[in-house]
Chain A
Amino acid sequence: MNACDVGRERVHAFFDEVGDGPVPESLQSHFATCAGCRELFDELTILRAALRARPAPPMPDDALEVVWERTVRAPRTGWLDGRRRAAVAAVLVTGVSLSTLWLLRTTSAPSGPTPAEIARAEAQADIVLSYAARAIQATRTATTHRVVGSKISPAVRGDVPSDSRRR
């Protein structure tokens, strides 16, 4: 006897979602009127039980031995295995790179003025000092003229008008 289309979907949905739990009331009432769906349900229940009871063939012992030999009993390839070796290599490369960068920065940074900079600074200092010396000299001359000039008679200085000199 064939299951009806609607019932078939519901039976499969039951096995999809629940399978082992109690059969819902709605499905049970459907079974009362549809022998095909009841039959399908019973057969799928037996099928599932048979599948779950299906014996798993044991993995042969010698095959398992090969697994142990290739894993936990495999000889180490040195004091570091592959991943740890890679990690140490990465740390070393990073360290060396950073050290190189630091050295490049410290050696390329100027430790003092270059000879050209010293010569330029000396020239600029000479110019400033010469300006200062000229300024000092001019101030001294002006001051001398003012002090000495007030103590010299106008005649000596030559400030007398020409007509009074003729008289």
Chain B
Amino acid sequence: MTNVEFESAVREHKDRVYGYARSLLRDAEDARDAAQECLVKLWQHRDHVEPGTGCRNWLLRSVHNLCIDRLRRRSVRREVDPDEGPEPADLRPGPDRLAASSRTADLLERALMGLQERDRAIVLLREVEGLPYEEIAGILGMNLGTLKATLHRARERLRRELIRQEVTP
């Protein structure tokens, strides 16, 4: 990947990477750091990453792993300092949220945040990013059967949550 291709890839995927990190970490500052780290890693590995779909999948895999590392560190900090408590969901109406301030989007966001981290990752990677099952299974270290069963449960849970909020008919 040349410097020009790197710049093009960053401009194309930066929001995807940041959005994924934000959805998984539920913290804008943490997401910002993870996205930066991920894009810098792409620069360091640019000789081994092909532009295009391969680059997108590489970035999602990389940012997912960086987010998981951060979530683990958080849980370790919580064990050391129990008073720290769980991170609150970042549901403040930021500029992006205000720009897309539809009630459905807001409720969907809340429903997504209610899922466990792994389930949320599966829904985002499959339903939002459209990654192939094999790729998601590789990223998450799951077999295909478990992956699909988890996705089915996550879909049902989101559906129930949205019905409860009277979004879907």
Which residues does A use to contact B, with CB under 8 Å? 12, 15-16, 40, 42-44, 46-48, 50-60, 63-64, 66-67, 70-72, 83
Contacts and interface: CB of A to CB of B under 8 A. Distances in A.
Interface residues of B, number: 42
Interface of B: 3, 6-7, 10, 14-19, 22, 32, 35-36, 39-40, 43, 47, 94, 96-97, 99-100, 104-105, 108-109, 123, 127-128, 133, 148, 151-152, 155, 158-159, 162-163, 167-169
Contact of B18 (A51, A53, A58): A58
Nearest to B96: A57
Per DSSP, are chain B's interface residues mostly helix, strand or loop, or mixed?
helix
Contacts of A12: 148, 152, 155
Contact of A72 (B6, B109, B128, B162): B6
A67 B10 contact: yes
B14 A54 contact: no
A66 B14 CA distance: 13
21 contacts: A12-B155, A16-B151, A44-B155, A46-B167, A50-B108, A51-B123, A51-B127, A53-B105, A54-B108, A55-B105, A56-B16, A56-B19, A58-B15, A59-B15, A63-B32, A63-B35, A66-B36, A71-B6, A71-B40, A72-B6, A72-B7
Contact of A59 (B17, B43, B105, B167): B17
Given A63-B32, A67-B39, A57 B15 contact: yes
A45 B21 CA distance: 25
Contact of B94 (A15, A51, A57): A57
Contacts of A44: 155, 159
